[in-house]
Amino acid sequence: MSSSALPYRPHNHQACVAQALADARTICQQHNARLTPTRERVLELIWQSHKPLGAYDVLAVLAEDGHNAAPPTVYRALDFLQQYGLVHRIASLNAFTGCTHAGKSHNGMFLICRSCGNVLELTAPAVSSALHRAAAEESFRPEDVTIEVSGYCPRCASDDAHG
Amino acid sequence: MSSSALPYRPHNHQACVAQALADARTICQQHNARLTPTRERVLELIWQSHKPLGAYDVLAVLAEDGHNAAPPTVYRALDFLQQYGLVHRIASLNAFTGCTHAGKSHNGMFLICRSCGNVLELTAPAVSSALHRAAAEESFRPEDVTIEVSGYCPRCASDDAHG
DNA sequence: TTGCTAATGTTATAATGTTGCAAATTCCGC
DNA sequence: GCGGAATTTGCAACATTATAACATTAGCAA
Ligand SMILES: [Zn+2]
Ligand SMILES: [Zn+2]
Ligand SMILES: [Zn+2]
Ligand SMILES: [Zn+2]
């Protein structure tokens, strides 16, 4: 599975993307879902960017492709990809990022660097379980959990004095 | 301090609102910040609603007030109120809710009912500390944490079969 | 008063996301 | 292959959320 869990370090990102697409094809097959060309292209674009892409960013690249797409095309593709856990929407950014744990069930949490914009998705079982306990104490039944942490990544924090 | 921590039960909400406004005045005085009529009115409106209000919802009520306001007026007031911790923005809803722990430093987390729309803000130290540990393991320095849990509140979960 | 700063008004526009329906494509049983 | 159902896409218009830019006013102090 594609686990470029460290976007901080340079690496052969084309390989990440290729792996993510391969994974996506497998996952869609398993669910009898159709990873159509548009959907695959959108997933590819999102993966190619290390930073979350807005829907209209995707739209712009599709336009460069020569694909005369309108917003619904992109949003529909994104809905599909989210549905199968291939991308996540970052609510605090109105943007989308490729899931680095696609296929595995996971409780994602996002570390978003204010300086460089990179996003790291991690699975934090301790956070997740503490959160579910807290919800249970209120007799609340969670269906969907959003955890987004804005701050400074190691590289940017050391670069200079942000605080 | 205004702690209508249980929006589930009926109660004298006007008292909550009055208390929240009184607290806000105190907090602003302490910071030499001006809680102008517009800002105070926006805070009041947000508190009066048990459910998070969108900026344009606020705008609509201001219009009913006879206040001929434009979007920037509302967004500025909301920015101010956020700055002093009097309201929170719920990213997953694009809406604002009164802070039930204004003045105290707190790591909020929001339980959002999909059915009735009520929002409960809680302080969950266990979640917060687990989260900071997870971030620290990645050498990430958190500045702002968003935790929003969508699901079913006790009342709505028992009402009928959501699952 | 005068001058400075914070706050507000005003207009326009940007950015993000949705609805509704028609056309095309794909799937599937025949 | 063929025909009908279901899914997917194209397309136009629209709705919602948020900001930019600049003029004006209110608060405050020398
Ligand atoms: Zn994920
Ligand atoms: Zn960074
Ligand atoms: Zn709060
Ligand atoms: Zn409820």
What are the average pLDDT values for consecutive 10-residue runs of chain A, which has 163 residues?
51 90 96 96 96 98 94 98 97 97 88 95 96 97 97 87 47
Q: How does strand B141-152 pair with strand B108-113?
A: parallel
B 28-87 residues, CB < 7 A, strand C: 33-34, 36-39, 67-73, 76-77, 80
Hey, how many other C-beta atoms are within 10 angstroms of the C-beta on A3? 13
Hey, how many other C-beta atoms are within 10 angstroms of the C-beta on A10? 7
Q: Ligand 2 centre and the CA of A146: distance in Å?
A: 21
Longest alpha-carbon distance in chain B: 53
Is residue B5 over pLDDT 50?
no
Backbone angles phi, psi at B2, to 5 degrees: -70, 115
Which among B91, B140, B163 is the nearest to A92, CB-wise?
B91
Strands (E), A16-126: 87-90, 95-98, 108-113, 119-123
Domains of chain B, each with CATH number or no CATH: 13-160 (1.10.10.10)
CB B154, CB B114: distance < 8 Å: no
Q: Say if pTM beats, i.e. exceeds, 0.85.
A: yes
Q: Of B79, B142, B160, which Cα lies nearest the Cα of A111?
A: B142
Band of the pLDDT at B160, cuts 50, 70, 90?
low
Q: What's the CA angle centered on A62, arms A59 and A67, to 5 degrees?
A: 120
> Residue B149's pLDDT is what?
98
Hey, how many other C-beta atoms are within 10 angstroms of the C-beta on A114? 14
> Residue A1's pLDDT is what?
41
Give the position of tokens 């909550």: B16
Q: Counting runs of H as helices and runs of E as strands, what totals does chain B give? A: 6, 5
**Picking from A137-141, B12-16, B78-82, which range would have the lowest pLDDT averaged per residue?**
B12-16
Band of the pLDDT at B103, cuts 50, 70, 90?
confident
Q: Which residue of A100, A112, A123, A143 to mutate against B (max B Cβ within 10 Å)? A: A143
> Residue B8's pLDDT is what?
59
Chain centroid to CA A92: 13
Structure token digits, residue B19 = 């208390």
Q: Which of A6-10, B51-55, B107-111, B159-163 is predicted most confidently?
A: B51-55
Amino acid at B65: D
Reported as type and span, the H/E element at residue B152 is strand B141-152
**Strand C nucleotides below 7 A of a protein CB?**
6-13, 15-20, 26-28
CA atoms within 13 A of residue B135's CA, in its CB half-sphere: 25
Distance, in Å, from the CA atom of B128 to the CA atom of B109, rounded to the nearest integer, reads 9
Whether residues A151 and B131 touch (CB distance < 8 A) is answered with no
For residues B43-60, average pLDDT: 97
Q: Is A146 exposed, middle or buried (0-12, 13-18, 19+ CB in 10 A)?
A: buried
Whether residues B127 and A131 touch (CB distance < 8 A) is answered with yes
> How far away is chain B from the Cα of A128, in angstroms, using its nearest Cα?
8
CB B54, CB B95: distance < 8 Å: yes
Whether residues B146 and A92 touch (CB distance < 8 A) is answered with yes
**Picking from A127-131, B6-10, B17-21, B63-67, which range would have the lowest pLDDT averaged per residue?**
B6-10
CB B88, CB B110: distance < 8 Å: yes
Distance, in Å, from the CA atom of B126 to the CA atom of B118, rounded to the nearest integer, reads 23
> Residue A162's pLDDT is what?
45
Distance, in Å, from the CA atom of B91 to the CA atom of B100, rounded to the nearest integer, reads 17
What nucleotide is nearest A71 when CA is compared to C1'?
Answer: C17
Reported as type and span, the H/E element at residue A37 is helix A37-48
Q: Ligand 1 centre and the CA of B115: distance in Å?
A: 26
Does residue B112 sit in helix, strand or coil?
strand
Cβ within 8 Å of residue A51, ≥6 positions away: A95, A97, A117, A118, A119
Q: Ligand 3 centre and the CA of B16: distance in Å?
A: 15
DSSP label at A145?
A: E
